[in-house]
A = this chain, B = another copy of it.
Amino acid sequence: MTQAEASPYTFVVPDLSDDGLAAVTAEIASTATEYDRTGDLPWAGLEAAYRAGLLTATVGRQYGGPELGPKDTARILTALGEGDASVALIAANTLITHAGQAARPSWPTAYYDDLLRRSRTGPAPANAVRAEPELGAPARGGLPRTTVTRTADGWRLDGRKAYATGGAGLAYHVVWAVAVEPDGDPEKPRVGHVIVPGDLPGITWVPMWDHLGLRASNTHDVIYDNVELPADAFAEIPRGADGVYRDPAAAAGPGSFGHPALYIGVARAARSAFADYARTRIPAALGKPIAQTERIQAVAGEIDLQIAQAETLLYGALLRIEAGDTAFLPQLSAIKVAIARSVIAATQTAVAALGNPGLSRHNPLERHLRDALCIRVHPPQEDVVLLAGGRRVLSI
């Protein structure tokens, strides 16, 4: 049996033309302000993404999906982020989950089949759930306190996680946990990911997310209390060469440019909002649109330069990887940091130039600034990247 024959489902190849994506962006943007206000899960936006086939664009070909690669994924997430960053973040996590399963299948067959089935009829978000309130950023090291305990016929999950984007909307959680096993070594327990259906008993959401940006992303805390799971729900993560477990998200690879891509969408939205305002604002004392002044033109040029930089870094990195340029791979994390700086610079430049109109909630720029600032919360953190890069350069 070939894998292609095996899949009972077929997922559409999405329309990634500029016009096709722009239509999705516009539809999602139309509800973004309201979700930002209420903090509700952005279902209308997610459904628009679903209808366009964007939430399943990375489903593996062995599962009947288009298995689009990092460049197409980046384009999708930029388009979504330009519409609603919260929608895009939930989508990014879902696309990364599908891409991971396509490349290295590790889910219980029944669970992934269920996820695919639900993905055919509506948004079915999935996400890795790694952070813990006391742990600090997983990317900085340290083991989770959340445990998955071996039982007679499976596992039992207990613990509290933080920053679980998607909240109660998640169809599946991929939970980072320490295994408690009868034959395990308590000094060196196994660590891995547990696949958890979002609707199991024992899962309680704690609505902690009340943030400057990405307000509709529902990045809440979640408590697992005696959640029962089958035996194949646990997949070990291999230790690093130094014997230390590390959050896989801490290592930048081609699949890790989804988050930067969505924030580039935010910066593009900020550029549009700036241009719209500048073209229509005619102060009585000036008598013409401010867009006709050299100052505003130079500001728009700076915003555009930062976006051109971010996009060329993003696609340039992916193209260099494709071209087999391995020498720069240790710099991938630095490039992600550089993209973050550009996204924030683009958005802050737009806001700084407009005074009150850039800060008022009557204009979209204010939301774009709040969303853009969230790019820094995704690993890798800048200080870690600079130290690692410096040690490499110094051969320390």
Contact = CB atoms under 8 A, between A and B. Distances in A.
Contacts of A361: 210-212
Contact of A320 (B208, B275, B315): B315
A312 interface: yes
A396 B295 CA distance: 13
Q: Count identical subunits in the complex.
A: 4
A142 interface: yes
Interface in A23-74: none
B136 A285 contact: yes
Interface residues of A, number: 88
Contact of A312 (B292, B335, B395): B335
Nearest to A302: B386
A264 to B, nearest CB: 12
Nearest to A215: B361
A118 interface: no
B355 A381 contact: yes
Given A301-B386, A313-B316, A394-B297, A142 B210 contact: no
A82 interface: no
Contact of A335 (B137, B300, B308): B308
Interface string A275-306: 10011000111100001101111111111110
B334 A323 contact: no
Contacts of A210: 360-362
Contacts of A315: 316, 319-320, 325
A338 to B, nearest CB: 4
Contacts of A299: 390
A285 B130 CA distance: 14
A22 interface: no
Given A285-B141, A316-B316, A387-B294, A359 B331 contact: no
A389 interface: yes
A100 to B, nearest CB: 24
B135 A283 contact: yes
Contact of A390 (B136, B140, B297): B297
Q: Sorted from nearest, which 5 A-B pairs have the closest CB atoms?
A: A316-B316, A136-B283, A142-B285, A301-B386, A300-B390
